[in-house]
Amino acid sequence: MALMRLRREDPRVVGSYRLHRRLGTGGMGVVYLGSDRRGQRVALKLIRAELAGDAEFRTRFAREVAAASRIRGGCTARLVAADIDAERPWLATAYVPGPSLYKRVGDEGPLAWPEVASIGAALAEGLVHVHEAGVVHRDL
């Protein structure tokens, strides 16, 4: 995953987490690499300001956080903390370092079929745990 510098408009602290880099952006907000006072690294999703004022969105986000807290099992990043009542709601999961699939294929070319099968099996295992918690993963 590409680590991008924080921009001028990015917060430096959210909750009890210090933000270090941007990991990516999406329709809901920005995901940052952060850490707590003990140095535990997290991926922190901060909701976009325009969505934070939408009561219906906040309700959906609260359901997402509640569901994420029920997910147990391998191949998923565990929910560490969240604040659904913050001015801009956020959630933090354990940070799992590694290159994106896009970067890996770009740097090294197509993956061999055994590696693709292994990644597919891990993805399926993670989705089983997500679905068992009653979550529909909208990004896949």
Catalytic residue numbers read: 139
Residue pair 6/20 in contact (Cβ under 8 Å)? The answer is: yes
Cβ-Cβ contacts under 8 Å for 91 (sequence gap 6 or more): 44, 45, 64, 65, 68, 79, 81, 82
Which residue spans within the chain are E strands per DSSP? 4-5, 13-14, 17-25, 29-35, 41-47, 79-83, 90-94
